[in-house]
Amino acid sequence: MDTYRAETTRYAAQLARISWVRLSAYTPELNPVEECWRQLKDALDNRFFESLDEHNTASDTALDRLSIPDISNYF
């Protein structure tokens, strides 16, 4: 078990008999939300927004255009 985990988290996991499984930093085949984050990053990266409203509009547009991965293959 990693030393950076909070003691209370380790204790709760032990009580619930939960095992820790370490995943790679980027594992889209194991975590479908990774693909969503990649798409958002691609849509908003390297852009300058004049205002918060402009940023919010761009974020809303990017969210509307997300191609949600088929998560049925993950389970």
pTM for the whole structure: 0.54
DSSP category for residue 71: G
Are the C-beta atoms of 52 and 8 separated by less than 8 Å? no
Instruction: Reduce the DSSP state of residue 31 to 3 states and report it.
Output: coil
**Among the listed residues 14, 41, 16, 32, the one whose alpha carbon sits nearest the alpha carbon of residue 74:** 32
Q: 14-46, pLDDT tens digit by residue?
A: 899 988 777 777 777 777 788 888 889 999 999
Q: Is 59 exposed, middle or buried (0-12, 13-18, 19+ CB in 10 A)?
A: middle
